[in-house]
Structure 1
Amino acid sequence: MNQDAPLQPETSLSLALAVVASSSAPIVLLDGDLRLIAASTSFYRAFRIDAHKATARKFTRIGDGEWNVAQLSALLSATASGLAEVHGYEMDLRRPGQDTRRLVLDAQMLDYADTTQVRLLLTVTDVTDALVAAKVKDDLLREKAILLREVQHRVANSLQIIASILLQSARKVQSEETRNHLKSAHSRVMSIAAVQQQLAASSGGEVELRSYFEQLCRSLGASMIYDPEQLSIDVNVDKTLTEANISISLGLIVTELVINALKHAFPKHRKGKITVDYHATGKDWTLQVGDDGIGMPTGEIDVKPGLGTGIVEALSNQLAAQITVADAMPGTNVSITHQHHIAEVDRTAV
């Protein structure tokens, strides 16, 4: 017996019928006139069709005529003629007294031994439940986004109220030290409020650092610079978008460094400028806050530990970044640098 001999037509048809009948997916076998030769039990059950009444009938006439769709008939006829194949054809199946179902159909002409008999294999997928589930998911995500934006608006407004109270309190107290502490607290609160405002305005949960830093520095200047002609804050930031938690950390670092410069770099009403610079290349980034003030003290640098210093160090560690303090001659420049490959090595070594 020649093992390479093609199957006889009867054998091929029997095999096709066996495959169709045993399929767990809705499958229909049609002849060249689009009459139903066989269908899987899953097809009859899913679409409530009487198998005995459907066999040998035109596919468009099975059931209560719900399959009699002109465009589908034309596509199946073109497939039977070898002119086309049906891929991903979508239709709504409407039946009296039943919910409309969304179906996706694929059809192709079978290639087997009997070339005189045309056979079409039609598969039917009911995607109604999947579409409903997807719509429910989209609706939930949309509702969640609306609620999140509302929460962010409320949080930003609440923070601004707190900041306003702190600033009013700073103006009323007699102690200069207490006033400075209250102003610093006000600036820190405004830093977080600015992030919340940016998040509320964004659609993807990311913050554009340029507009965030500009807004933050405007707030710092308004609350801590008495004469804008005397002192100014310049912002030079690229168009980086970053995650909310990272932007909060960066904003707090900027706040602490700018406050520190405003407090110490320009004594006795000295004129000057503070510059905030941020640029990223891939996953690497550098944040710099510099000033043209009196500069670093000569000799041994005396770094007095305090809340601001602790915040900058803690946040830099959290961001896996290195702090560098340099004499800008004149002034001081503080760089916070994150190099992704070094951070990854450090992370895996822990």
Structure 2
Amino acid sequence: MTGRRQATLVDAIVETVREPMLVLNRELRVVAASRSFCQTFTVNPRDTRGKLLYDIGGGDWDIPELRLLIGKILPERGAVENCEVEHNFRAIGLRTMRLNARHLVYARGARTNILLGIEDLTRERIRQRTQDEMLQEKDVLLGEIQHRIGNSLQIIANIMLVKALSVTSDETRRALTDAHDRVISIAAVQHCLHAAAPGGQIELIRYLNELCEAMSQSVISNRQAIAIEVVGSRARVSCTTAESLGLIVAELVINAVKYAFTKGNMHGRIRVCYTAHADDWCLVVADNGVGQPESDAPTTAGLGTGIIRALAERLGAQVKTVRNEHGTTIAITHAAAGSDDAARMQPAAPRRTGRAAARIEG
């Protein structure tokens, strides 16, 4: 193929390309430039042909990274792919480009040219930066909203407590106290979940441990010697699952503190245990209190029981309860179809000195 026919062929090919593209000879002089290249980088087509690559645009293309790619990496590797370069052009400002280069061989023994493709990523990178900034602003705003929600819940809880202390009706006082405890538990769940969840999933045991520490400071009085222990698998769960499990634990801890240690047990212990294997998991909250008789327990239609069962149902789990003289054990189990691993994962209740531990029964 003659040099003129070769140049005509190159021009015809380049004219069909929509992306910025240059064809260079071995001396790195421009053989052809696509229309998109000239439009994108505001270059006159007449000022490109035959010009040294690094002299285009009055020296705008004398880019150190480009010299390295064309002068060293391309001869060594035969091709340059997806190399991102950022450069400030005098006429159009800062641009982010993805460069691809390779040798263009027309026929065996013929002289080779270099095909240089340039993809302008500037708008895409601006969109990405804008999106990242918006996400950061959203996180800041969400954190501020959660902080204000937490403060509002604390104020509401304090108002309920003051009202509970001032009313004369025992029934009203109990209702306000129960409402106060639940507001406190929701505030604790919200605070701990926000603190422990920078991403889509969190380590559940760490979250439950922080939650129980917050609960122990808010619902256990100085007159009660009650310890809360959190143990189990270091599994990660979604924030939605953690929120539901946290609300269950908060409700059960409140019930244990209020009802399990009413007969002078000075060394109360509440044990929260979460174990998981594959898709099966088991959450157990057990106490070594007096073992509340059914006649004194909240009725099965009570608000607390309804909350626990509704949350368990949302998780696709079942609730099992054992109450006796050794304490109360409540297990929430989730078993995948055809699996009985969750039943085997249920642990024993905490022991009192010299007394047998209550266990979960079917």
**TM-score of the two chains, using structure 1 as the length reference:** 0.82
The 1:236–1:145 alpha-carbon spacing in structure 2 relative to 1, beyond 3 Å, is: same
Structure 1 residue 274 displacement after superposition: 2.4
* Corresponding residue of 1:321: 317
Instruction: Please identify, of 81-90 and 246-255, the stretch whose mean Cα deviation from structure 2 is larger.
Output: 81-90
- Quote the residue 1:3 is aligned against: none
Q: What is the identity, as a one-letter code, of the residue corresponding to 2:60?
A: E
Q: Report how far residue 252 of structure 1 moved.
A: 2.3
Match of 1:172 among 162, 166, 171: 166
Alpha carbons of structure 1 residues 329 and 112: separation in structure 2 relative to 1, 3 Å: farther
Equivalences for 1:65-144 in 2 at 5 Å? 65-78=59-72, 81=75, 85-144=79-138
Once the two structures are TM-superposed, the CA of residue 330 in structure 1 deviates from its matched residue by 1.9
| Unpaired stretches in structure 1, ≥5 consecutive residues | 1-7, 344-350
Q: Does 1:246 align with 2:237?
A: no
2:147 to 150, 153, 165: 153
Q: What SS does the aligned partner of 1:91 have? A: strand
2:96 match: secondary structure:
strand
Structure 2 unmatched runs, 5+: 340-362
* Between 93-102 and 24-33, the greater mean CA deviation after superposition: 93-102
1:163 alignment partner in structure 2: 157
Partner of 2:190: 196
Contact kept? 1:190, 1:219, Cα under 8 Å: no
1:313-347 superposed Cα distances (whole Å, 9 cap, x missing partner): 1111111111112356622211101234479xxxx
Deviates more, 1:136-145 or 1:211-220: 211-220
**Is 66-75 or 217-226 further displaced after alignment?**
217-226
Amino acid at match of 2:328: T
CA displacement 1:109-140 (0-9 Å, x = unmatched): 12331424121000011111111111111111
**Alignment length, in residue pairs?**
334
Name the structure 2 match of 1:234: 229
* % same residue: 37
**Residue aligning to 1:347:** none
Matched, 1:45 2:45: no
Contact 1:184–1:259 under 8 Å retained in 2: no
1:262 partner amino acid: V
Aligned residue identity for 2:164: A
CA distance in 1, matches of 2:91, 2:125: 21
Asked if 1:33 corresponds to 2:7, the answer is no
Contact 2:287–2:328 (CA under 8 A) maintained in structure 1:
yes
Contact 2:185 2:251 in 1 (8 A): no
After superposition, the C-alpha distances for 1:37-60 in whole angstroms (9 at most, x for unaligned) are 112211122122222232122222
Q: Indicate how the Cα distance of structure 1 residues 340 and 64 shifts in structure 2: closer, same or farther if over 3 A, else same.
A: farther
The aligned amino acid for 2:251 is: E
Report if aligned partners of 2:291, 2:324 keep a CA contact under 8 Å in 1: yes
Q: Determine if contact 2:25/2:113 at 8 Å carries over to the other structure.
A: yes
Matched to 2:188, the amino acid is A
SS in 1 for 2:57: coil
CA gap of 1:210–1:157, structure 2 versus 1, over 3 A, is farther
Please report how far the alpha carbon of residue 24 of structure 1 lies from its aligned counterpart in structure 2 after TM superposition: 0.9
Residue 265 in structure 1 maps to residue 255 in structure 2: no
CA contact (8 A) 1:173 1:179 kept: yes
Q: 1:328–1:285: structure 2 CA closer, same or farther, 3 Å change rule?
A: farther
The change in CA–CA distance for 1:188 and 1:240 in structure 2 (over 3 A counts) is farther
Are the equivalent residues in 2 in contact too, given 1:49–1:63 (CA < 8 A)? yes
Which one of 10, 15, 24 corresponds to residue 18 of structure 2?
Answer: 24
- Larger mean CA deviation between 153-162 and 85-94 belongs to 85-94
Residue 297 of structure 1: how far off its partner (Å): 4.7
Deviation at residue 178 of structure 1 after TM alignment: 3.2
User: Which is worse superposed, 124-133 or 40-49?
Assistant: 40-49
Output the amino acid matched with 2:101. Answer: A
CA contact (8 A) 2:78 2:103 kept: no
CA deviations 1:203-253 (Å, max 9, x no partner) are 226555435434443454443546333x43333244444434333322222
1:305 is matched by which residue type in structure 2?
A
Alpha carbons of 1:206 and 1:298: their partners in 2 closer, same or farther (altered >3 Å)? closer
Q: Deviations over 1:275-296 (max 9, x none)?
A: 2222233443211111223436
Residue 40 of structure 1 aligns with an amino acid whose one-letter code is S
2:301 pairs with 1:305: yes
**Residue type at the aligned position of 1:317:** E
How far does residue 32 in structure 1 lie from its aligned partner after superposition?
Answer: 0.7
